[in-house]
Structures are given as structure tokens and as C-alpha cells.
Structure 1
């Protein structure tokens, strides 16, 4: 009705920002295994000021949450990633940028300035802790203090939030999208950083259209880039319509090339409209590239191109097969699991290789929301799925696997997750036996306040 105050759902509940930077020693219940030593780093959006214009969850300032585990004890620290955007707005005492740098909602003083938020993923590679997002270079953080160190300049432009680290070579393989002289370009970059941290390759090629390419596929010898119809458009944004929107009448395309090949050798495979934020893993088998991905029938969280609300959809695990030796460019799609879920993870020692065990955040109730209230383990060899359902109202982050040792069998280790306790409006750090999640956590470390819903995290061993 007239005069109604509409609250952005991404600024309320456990999406709402926590603006304090704190250090806590956490109260432990159960047992945190003595063999689990290191730090779980997590990141997510946490706007330091009330946003301008129509705020989207993906656009908030990055905040790092670190859970340091040692001798059965857990300490917590959180800090903002002090990007140039954060610094500029902090000095002004207010938000200056629109979501995704939208010029229609950006203060004139910030037009053309760096709008990076470093809020999507945080990875360790070549001795550096890197905070990542879709549209800017990696931003380095000091691992113990979480002090901000700045952009890693050798990347020279937009990079991905989801690089892949080759377990055999130590290389970090990455990409960037939206490359071009204007925002929402159709260019894609393919990049490689060697095990020592030197950028040794960056090549560009053109996609059929501008797409939000959140993640990609890497195997031992191949790389594949999904161009799916969650499209970006500067013209649309300048006309007051969504900068990113679902266009279900467009086909899906995936560019496949050898990692040691030239971008001119790319082969485009295709499928009807669909969307994927996150694959679980990909590998090669018998002349085929195979990928297990969480697939949506339409992109969630985004409107249609005309500004109308998008579909309420959920993702399920499916298998994509690309016949590299065949004549067909169609992607074969087969269902694997019938449970709604997101944020898939696996034993990263098998990245790009055939694997057996996967874990993900799940929604057994089929609510078709990004809020997940269970943790699932799937044995891809037997097809057996086990599930730990949280108490009613509680929600989990992405579960992260940590091996018991460098030479432990696949899946032998622990699973860590951060859970929001809705009734108490605070969060817990949970540790599971990775191959028996159904029995529940073996150790819990309690926070005195909540950790807002975020995106991704990774474990860095001591």
C-alpha cells in the first residue's frame, strides 16, 4: 500500500551486515580434533554503509571471517577488505557506488573509480591469501592479522572468484569475464599463475554474449567456460532496467579448449537455457570431458530482462558430458541427485581428476531458496547419500573438506561449516567426520554473535 516501507531482504535477518571487527576465543563443546590445525577463512558481502539504489546481495563490501584452530581450541577474527572502494566510502562516511558499479546509482564523485569489493572467495596460493570477486584483480590479505595489503598487480585486469589449483603442478588456473573497453563486455580471459605465483599466461577471446560466468571447469588437460543466459547489459542498466538479468530465450554455450592450446582452437558446445553457479568437479574419461554441476532451470536471485521478477528455482546435481572425439556439439545432461542444494565441495587433492566423494549444503524441504538447512555427503561410487539436518530455522554455510593428512585416502578427514542459529541470532563453527556427517558435529565452537550469510571459504593448513 502507499507509504509502505519495503525492506531489502538482503539487508535483513542474517543477510544484514555486522559492521564490528572483533577477536574472540570461542567456547568449545564436544571435541575439536587435535589433528585439525589451521584456519578456515570465509568471506561474504557486508556493506559498511547503507547502500545506494537497489542493493543486490552480491555487491556488498567484502569481510573476511577467520576461524583459527589449534590444539582443540578455536579463535575468531573478522576484518573488512579495505579495497579502494571501501577506503573512498569510509573517508566520505557514506556509500558512493551503486550495486555492481551501476552508474545510475553512483555518486558523481565516484564515477570511473574502482568499485571492487573482494567479497566472493578467499584462496591460498604461492604464499598469498587472496580475496577474490568477479570483476577485479585478486586482493591480498595478511593471513594472521587480516590486514589489507592491496591488489596483486601482475594480473592486470578482471579475474575470477573461482580459480582452480592443479594438485599436480601447483598452477592456479583462472579466468575473467566482461572483458572489453566498456562495462559488460563480451570478452573472456584465460589465465595461468605458476606454482611460484607468477602470472605466465593471459589470453582473451569473445563469447556469444555478455554473461555472468561465476565459475568454470578445469581438468588435467582441458578448460571449459560456461556462457549461460544470465546476461549483462550496460544499455539495459542505463535505461533503468537490471544490469544483470535472465534471458531464457537464449541458448547456453560452453567453450572447451586444451589448457596448452590457443584460444583460436576453442570448440563451442551448446544446450538449452540453464544456469550454474558452481560445479563440484570435472575430469576426463575415454575421450570425454565430464563435469558434475549444480544446475538451475533458470538463474535465481536475478530478475528477467524486462525487470519483472525472476523464477524461484533450486539447483540439483547433474552430470554434463562433452564428447571431445564425437561430431556433436550438444552437451549431454544426466541427473545425479534429487535433492535441492548448492555450494558443492570435494577433496581438492582430486581437482580436475576422477573422484568419489562430494559434499554440499542442502535444502531437504524444497523451499527453493539460497538458505540451506542441511549438509549432505554423496558417495558417487555407490550412489549413497547421507544427510545431517540442522535444527529448525538454522542455516549452514558452504561445507569445506580438510584431509586428515596429505596422504590420507580420499574423503578421510573433516568437514567444517559455519551455521547460523536462528533462535539465538548467533553463529557456530561446526566440525564433522567427513565420511559420517549424518551423526552430526563432533565439535562445536560457539560465537557470541552471528556471521552473516556469505559465499565461499577455504581451509589453510597450519
Structure 2
């Protein structure tokens, strides 16, 4: 049966928050490879209190779930990210902020920091950083997950999807609505391998868009501005803060990394949406980008509040010809399996690559989550997958190399899997080159880990 209309779907099932902060030693089945030593961190929204207003999944408080792997053993720890918002609400004993609905906030917090640090967690230059769309990175202790606070050197908001250049060690990043909510100002920035912010430049996009992710190659950065638009006036009139407006089309700004935002060139195509790309690289004067493309943005309505048809994302290749007179993006489907959360061997970030993995839908109705993990070999076009049992749902698959100098794709895939029949979760390990064989090990959590967004591996 469908849930009662009074139940927000983002607060039900495995989207519902867990509000305990726990430390467990997990039971392991199978054998964790001896070479797999380090920590897997996963971030996701987990409201501390019953939300105010029309709650959206993207607006919950960040919670880090950490799996520490060493000597074949796995220990688990979860903690809220104690942002200024979390601290204010914790002291009050109730929700104070309104998420995406500016009218729902308590008057006592108008104008105060509302960061939730709930989308990604990355390791760079000796820092563990929790990230989201609209605030500076929030640093955490990598062992205890205790808060260390915002990294002020970023000088304003940064999105959740930086790219780490494997050749220079630089972390490349961007921000949308950099001039304030729903403005069309965007930023581009660079943090060097030591953790020092060396650059932050602003530029104007064609319109205000939820630009969730971007792409970077050895020589270029690409900024998708797609027609999931933000509009403060619409929100204040009671309409959706973000809405699907396909008439605006799809735009991608292409910038040479060594030339800056003044040389931005905008390419266009028909309306589509991308939350997450896989990778991008250059072939002479051509840029090639593989992305998970939706015909229509999911999870958000039209400006009038009506809901578009839900159509899943599939892996599509975008090609940009920098030498041509045309600014049209060429688009070519690569695989027909619906999916999301594409990952690859990030030692090949910004470079040509062969192997990719994603969470897929092999036997589910549209929009009903994921039931498999897929591996695509882009050299042969072959796709393999591992389907989970009915009711089980995997999250983002993260690649871990077997050794720093291992061949591309030689290593493991780690992921979280929700076990629907038992209402709990497992940390699972696959041989990255043999996904279809199933997990080689799993560590059983005694309770569930709510569905979330992104995670990353920190080597021991």
C-alpha cells in the first residue's frame, strides 16, 4: 500500500532517521582481504528533530557513518555533524530551521547559519571534510568524528562534489548560488595538495540552477547549468524553491583551468538533468564526459507544483568539440541499465579510463531505488552486475585500489546494503573485477544505516 498522505516519504522506511550515535564491532562473514585497511566514510541526511514545513530529503542534518577496517575486522561509528544549526536546535530541543522552505523557519534563527553538511565526506591534505551544497567544508576528526568546524579559508559556500587531480594532488571545486540563495553567481576554486586555498573566482551562469556536480579534465573544468531552477520569489509565494523548467534548455560552461573564468565558453543541448557524472577527459581538442543523464530532473516538481513523469538516469556520453564553430553538445547513450551514483578508479580522474561502477535498477519499477551493483568495461562495452535479494538495496559503490600502483580497476568495491527483510544494513566488499560473483565479505551492522548520498575511502 502507498503510505498515508500525511507521512512524508523522506521520513519513512529506510529514509527515516536513526537518532542514536553508536559504536559497534561488526560480525564479519567471509574474509575481508588483508590488503583492505582503512576507513570508509558515508554521509547522508538524518534530521535531529521532526522537521518544520515541507521537508525534503536533501535538507536533513548530516550524519557520518564510518567503517574502520583493519586486520580483517570492521568497527562502526556514527556521529552527527555538529554544525552551528545542529547546535542551536540541539540546545532548543526542537527543529528551528525550515530547510528549503524559507517561510517555515522560527523567527529566532532568521539570518543564522543553516548548514547541514549532509552530502559528501572527502579526505584531502590530511583533513576529513563533510560537504553540502551551500556552505564551507566542515572538518571532522577522522577517528572520533568529533567536530573541528568550518574551514574558513574557503571564503564561502562550496558544493559537495570536489575533484582531486591525481597528478597534482589539487582539489578542484565550485559553488552555485554563490551570491546568496537562488542567485546565478557561481564560483570556481582550487585547493593545493597541502590544503591551502589558492584560488576562488566568480562568474555568472545563464540562470539559477541546482548545479549539483561538475567535471574536470587535465586542462579544463566544466560547469553544467541545467533547468532545475532556483527562484526565491517563487519560494516566498509558496511555490517550489527548486523546479523543473525545460524551456530554459541545458547549458555547460567550459573553462580552461589555466585561463580562468573570463574565457568561459557555453555549450548547449536539449533539456536534461545530471546529478552525477562518472568522469571526463580530453582527446586533442575534444572533451569527452560520461554522465548519468535524466530526461527530466527527479525528486522535484514543475513551477506549478505538479510532478513530472519519473524517468530514471542512464549512462550517456557527452562530447564537446572545442575546435568546431558549433557550441552544441553531442550526446550518445552508453548503457541502458537505469542507475545512479557512478564511480570509477579515481586515480584516473580527469584522464581517459576504462572501468566504472554504479548502483542500478535491474528489476524494479521506475523510481523504486536500486537492486544491483553494475560494472561497465568501456573498452569492450561489456556490463556485468550483481543483483541483490528482493527488498535489499545497495548504495553508492566506491572503488579501493589493491595497491597505489595497481592497474586501473584492480582492487575492491565497498558499499552499504540495506537488508529490507531484516531492517538493518551490511558493509560489503566485492572484487572489483568480478562484481557478478557477489560479495567476498560482509560486515553485519545490528541496525540499519538510513539511505544517504556519498562516501569515500581513506587508506590506513
Name the structure 2 match of 1:220. Answer: 218
Structure 2: runs of 5 or more not aligned = none
Contact 2:364–2:371 (Cα < 8 Å) also in 1 = no
Contact 1:295–1:317 (Cα < 8 Å) also in 2 = yes
* Pair 1:424 & 2:433 matched: no
Name the structure 1 match of 2:243. Answer: 245
| TM-fit CA distance, 1:249 | 1.4
| Separation in 2, partners of 1:384, 1:286 | 26
| Separation in 2, partners of 1:433, 1:287 | 36
How many equivalent pairs are there?
457
Name the structure 1 match of 2:103. Answer: 104
Name the structure 1 match of 2:67. Answer: 67
Corresponding residue SS for 1:249: helix
| Separation in 1, partners of 2:310, 2:119 | 22
| 1:215-294 matches, cutoff 5 A | 215-294=213-292
Contact 1:83–1:117 (Cα < 8 Å) also in 2 = yes
Contact 2:163–2:171 (Cα < 8 Å) also in 1 = yes
| Separation in 2, partners of 1:26, 1:372 | 24
Structure 1: runs of 5 or more not aligned = none
* Pair 1:161 & 2:156 matched: no
| TM-fit CA distance, 1:183 | 2.0
Name the structure 1 match of 2:188. Answer: 190
Cα–Cα, structure 1 residues 286 and 5, in superposed 2: closer, same or farther, change >3 Å? closer
TM-score by length of 2: 0.98
Name the structure 1 match of 2:177. Answer: 178
Contact 1:378–1:386 (Cα < 8 Å) also in 2 = yes
| TM-fit CA distance, 1:368 | 2.1
Query: Once the two structures are superposed, what CA deviation does each residue of 1:371-422 show, in whole Å capped at 9, x if it has no partner?
Result: 1110000000000100000000100010000000000000000000100000
Name the structure 2 match of 1:453. Answer: 451
Corresponding residue SS for 2:177: strand
Corresponding residue SS for 2:451: coil
| 1:290-329 matches, cutoff 5 A | 290-329=288-327
| Separation in 2, partners of 1:245, 1:68 | 39
| TM-fit CA distance, 1:347 | 0.2
Name the structure 2 match of 1:23. Answer: 23
Name the structure 1 match of 2:206. Answer: 208
Name the structure 1 match of 2:151. Answer: 152
Cα–Cα, structure 1 residues 258 and 5, in superposed 2: closer, same or farther, change >3 Å? closer
| Separation in 2, partners of 1:79, 1:310 | 36
| Separation in 1, partners of 2:319, 2:111 | 42
Query: Once the two structures are superposed, what CA deviation does each residue of 1:75-109 show, in whole Å capped at 9, x if it has no partner?
Result: 00000000000001001110011123x32111111
* Pair 1:38 & 2:23 matched: no
| Separation in 2, partners of 1:428, 1:315 | 26
| Separation in 1, partners of 2:316, 2:260 | 29
Contact 2:62–2:81 (Cα < 8 Å) also in 1 = yes
Cα–Cα, structure 1 residues 398 and 381, in superposed 2: closer, same or farther, change >3 Å? same
| Separation in 1, partners of 2:398, 2:391 | 21
Contact 1:402–1:413 (Cα < 8 Å) also in 2 = yes
Corresponding residue SS for 2:90: helix
Corresponding residue SS for 2:373: strand
| 1:105-124 matches, cutoff 5 A | 105-124=104-123
| TM-fit CA distance, 1:262 | 2.3
| Separation in 2, partners of 1:322, 1:243 | 31
* Pair 1:436 & 2:445 matched: no
| Separation in 1, partners of 2:98, 2:229 | 18
| 1:354-365 matches, cutoff 5 A | 354-365=352-363
| TM-fit CA distance, 1:310 | 2.9
| Separation in 1, partners of 2:355, 2:121 | 23
| TM-fit CA distance, 1:160 | 1.2
| Separation in 2, partners of 1:99, 1:291 | 33
| Separation in 2, partners of 1:368, 1:201 | 42
Corresponding residue SS for 1:349: helix
Contact 2:137–2:150 (Cα < 8 Å) also in 1 = yes
Corresponding residue SS for 1:277: strand
Name the structure 1 match of 2:410. Answer: 412
| Separation in 2, partners of 1:406, 1:126 | 17
| Separation in 2, partners of 1:183, 1:171 | 28
4+ long deviations beyond 6 Å: none
Corresponding residue SS for 2:356: strand
Contact 1:428–1:446 (Cα < 8 Å) also in 2 = yes
| Separation in 1, partners of 2:279, 2:368 | 21
| Separation in 2, partners of 1:19, 1:245 | 31
Corresponding residue SS for 2:248: coil
